[in-house]
Structure 1
Amino acid sequence: MAHQLLQGKKGLIFGALDERSIAWKVAEHAVAEGAQIVLTNAPIAMRMGKINELAAACNNAPVIPADATSIADLENLITRGMEHVGGKFDFVLHSIGMSPNVRKSIPYDETNYDNFLKTLDISALSFHKVLQTAKKLDAINEWGSVVALSYIAAQRTFPGYNDMADAKSVLESIARSFGYQYGFAKKVRVNTISQSPTVTTAGSGVSGFNAFIDYAEKMSPLGNADAEQCAQYCISLFSDYTRMVTMQNLFHDGGFSNTGVSHLLIEDLNRLNGQ
C-alpha cells in the first residue's frame, strides 16, 4: 500500500536492468509513492535489459543513457535530468556493480589487475563520480538523499565474491567520506544499504551465489530480505522521515549481520555428522 511518502519529490535511479533488479523495484515504488523519476543505465545494459518497459510503467519516465564511469556522461545525464523534472533532485539511487574477473571466473588470488581496476571504477568510483558531479552542478536539494547498494562481503570474506568485495568496501568508505562533505555543504545525506544476497542478474554471476542465499536464509532470524523489501527500505531513506541518517552502512539482511550461528545451521551440521 502506497502512503505518498515521496509526493512531489524527484529522483534519479541508476541500474534498472530487468524486473529482477532492485533498482527496478525502487523505481516502481518511488512512482507509487508520488515521485517523478529519471531512469539511467549504461548503453550496453540498456540494450540487454528492459528499461523502456519500466519507463512506460513509471508515467513514461525519461531514460537517459550514461556510463557512470564517465564524468562527461554524468554531467549530460544530470543536466538533462534536471531539465526534465524542472529543478533539482531529491533522491538518487546508485545500483551499479560489475566485475570482469567474476564474469571470466578468474580467482581472486590470480586476479587480472586491468579487470580489477575496471571493477573498482564501475562498482565503487562511479559512486564518487555521481556524488562529485551532482555536488558540482548543485543538483540535489537540501535534505536530499543518496543511497548505494552494498553487501556484507565488504566486511566479511565470502569466497567467490572476488574483487567485488573490495569494491563494496570502497563504496561504503565513499559514503562516509563524501557524506561528511555533502552534509556540511548542502545538507545532503549519503548512505549505503548492505542487502541480503538477492537473486538479480548481477548477483547470479557470482560463483556459489545460490549457496550464499541458502546460508543467509538459515542464519538470519527473519530470513533473507528480498528485492521488494529492499526497495521499500530505500523509499524510507528517500523520505523525510530519515532526514538525520547519513554516512551509514545500513544492514537490511534479516539479522544476518549480527548472528554468529543459528540453530538451523547447527541442525544441518549435526545431520552431516550423523548426530
Structure 2
Amino acid sequence: MSYNLLKGKRGVIFGALNEMSIAWKVAERAVEEGAVITLSNTPMAVRMGEITALGEKLNAEIIPADATSVEDLEKVFARSMEVLGGKIDFVLHSIGMSPNVRKKRPYDDLDYDMLSKTLDISAISFHKMIQVAKKMDAINEYGSILALSYVAAQRTLFGYNDMADAKALLESIARSFGYIYGREKNVRINTISQSPTMTTAGSGVKGMESLMDFANRMSPLGNANADECADYCIVMFSDLTRKVTMQNLYHDGGFSSMGMSLRAMTQYNKSFDEYRNEKGEICYG
C-alpha cells in the first residue's frame, strides 16, 4: 500500500546489488511512495549484480561509483541533481564489506591492511558521502541521510569480527556529522540498527543462520526482515520525522532491549537434555 510519503522527493540509494539487498527493497518502496531516485554501486557490482534490472524497473539511472572515492561521489551527486532536476531529499548508505570476514581471519589475528579496507568501505565512505554532499550543497533543507548498522556496534556477537568496529564508527559519524549538518543546513542524519538479515553481505558472517535463529527467539516481535526495514527507511526519509537526527534507531523486534526470552531459555535448557554419543554412552549437552 502506498501513502505518497515521498511524493515529489528525490533520492540516491547506494548499495543495491540484488533482490536480497535491503537497499533494493528501499529503492522499490521509495518509488512506490512517489520519489524519483538514482542508484549507485561499484562498477564491478553493476557488472556482476542485477542492479540494471532494478534501474529499468524503477526508471532510475544507475551511476557506477566507488563510495570510498571522493571524486566518484562528487560525480554521483552532480549527476543525480542533473537527472532528477534539483537537490536531493534523501540518501541511503547500505554499504558494508570486510575482507577479514571473507578470508575467515579471526578478530585476534586480523590483517591490518584488510581492517583499513573494512573501515574505509563500511564506515569512512559514509563520512565521505556526507562531506561531499555538504560541500556541494546537494541536500535540501530537512533532507534525510541514513546508514544501516547493527547491534554489534554496542555488543559483542561472535563471528561479526571487525565489522563491529566499522558499525561503531558508522554510528559515531552519524552523531558527529549530524550535529554539524543539522545546525548549518537542517539536514538530519541517522543510523538504523537492523535485525540480522540474510543479505549477500550478511551471508558471509560466520554462524549467520544460528545468529538469526537466536535473535528471532530472543525478540518478542521476532526478527525484522528486509521489506520491513525498507518501510522504516521510508518513514525516516519522509517529513514525518523532520526532527529526528543523530540517532541510532533499533529495528530488531525488541532484541536490543532483551536479556533472556522464554523461547531462548527453553532452547538453552534443551541443550542439557541427555543424549547418547556414537559409542552409546549417555552424555549431557
Q: Same fold (TM over 0.5)?
A: yes
1:137-166 CA deviation, whole Å, 9 max, x = no partner? 000000000000000000000111110000
Partner-residue secondary structure (3-state), 1:143: strand
Rounded Cα–Cα distance in structure 2 between residues aligned with 1:106 and 1:199: 21
1:152-191 matched pairs, under 5 angstroms: 152-191=151-190
Tell me the residue number matched to 2:147: 148
How far apart are 1:107 and its partner, in Å? 0.7
Tell me the residue number matched to 1:65: 64
How far apart are 1:77 and its partner, in Å? 1.0
TM-score, length basis structure 1: 0.99
Higher-Rg member (1/2): 2
Rounded Cα–Cα distance in structure 1 between residues aligned with 2:268 and 2:62: 49
Is 1:23 the counterpart of 2:16? The answer is no
Rounded Cα–Cα distance in structure 1 between residues aligned with 2:201 and 2:221: 24
1:92-148 CA deviation, whole Å, 9 max, x = no partner? 000000000001101110000000000000000000000000000000000000000
Q: List alignment gaps of at least 5 residues for structure 2.
A: 275-285
How far apart are 1:84 and its partner, in Å? 0.5
How far apart are 1:268 and its partner, in Å? 1.1
Partner-residue secondary structure (3-state), 1:157: coil
Rounded Cα–Cα distance in structure 2 between residues aligned with 1:157 and 1:46: 33
1:36-115 matched pairs, under 5 angstroms: 36-58=36-58, 60-115=59-114
Partner-residue secondary structure (3-state), 1:45: helix
TM-score, length basis structure 2: 0.95
Tell me the residue number matched to 2:231: 232
How far apart are 1:246 and its partner, in Å? 0.2
Partner-residue secondary structure (3-state), 1:172: helix
1:245-264 matched pairs, under 5 angstroms: 245-264=244-263
How far apart are 1:274 and its partner, in Å? 2.6
Amino acid at match of 1:62: E
How far apart are 1:48 and its partner, in Å? 1.8
Is 1:270 the counterpart of 2:269? The answer is yes
Tell me the residue number matched to 1:125: 124
Rounded Cα–Cα distance in structure 2 between residues aligned with 1:200 and 1:188: 29
Is 1:209 the counterpart of 2:208? The answer is yes
Rounded Cα–Cα distance in structure 1 between residues aligned with 2:107 and 2:135: 36
How far apart are 1:46 and its partner, in Å? 1.2
Partner-residue secondary structure (3-state), 1:19: coil
1:229-250 CA deviation, whole Å, 9 max, x = no partner? 0000000000000000000000
Partner-residue secondary structure (3-state), 1:81: helix
Rounded Cα–Cα distance in structure 2 between residues aligned with 1:153 and 1:48: 29
Rounded Cα–Cα distance in structure 1 between residues aligned with 2:236 and 2:127: 19
Amino acid at match of 1:217: N
1:68-90 CA deviation, whole Å, 9 max, x = no partner? 00000001111111101111000
Amino acid at match of 1:138: D
1:146-188 CA deviation, whole Å, 9 max, x = no partner? 0000000000001111100000000000000000000011000
Partner-residue secondary structure (3-state), 1:273: coil
Partner-residue secondary structure (3-state), 1:102: helix
Amino acid at match of 2:226: A
Amino acid at match of 2:98: S
Q: List alignment gaps of at least 5 residues for structure 1.
A: none
Is 1:13 the counterpart of 2:18? The answer is no
Rounded Cα–Cα distance in structure 2 between residues aligned with 1:258 and 1:240: 28
Identity within the alignment, %? 65
Amino acid at match of 2:107: Y
